[in-house]
Amino acid sequence: MIVLGVILIIVGSLLGIQIVTYIGIILAVIGLILTILGAVGRGVGGRKTYF
């Protein structure tokens, strides 16, 4: 999810489409939150890692 967010941020910045950039930022933040929760041992939705 983090990788997809970063890709969307780059594509949105290069093409000048702001909504794609915002969606990329949201996905990257959600991915980071899920990764941090998994690292501290708290699984979300039954999973400790999200790819």
pTM of the predicted structure, to 2 decimals: 0.78
Q: Tens digit of pLDDT for each residue in 1-32? A: 889 999 999 999 999 999 999 999 999 999 89
Nearest to 37 by CA among 49, 28, 26: 49
CB 38 within 8 A of CB 49: yes
Structural domain boundaries of the chain? 2-39
pLDDT over threshold 70, residue 33: yes
Q: What is residue 5's predicted lDDT score, i.e. its pLDDT?
A: 93
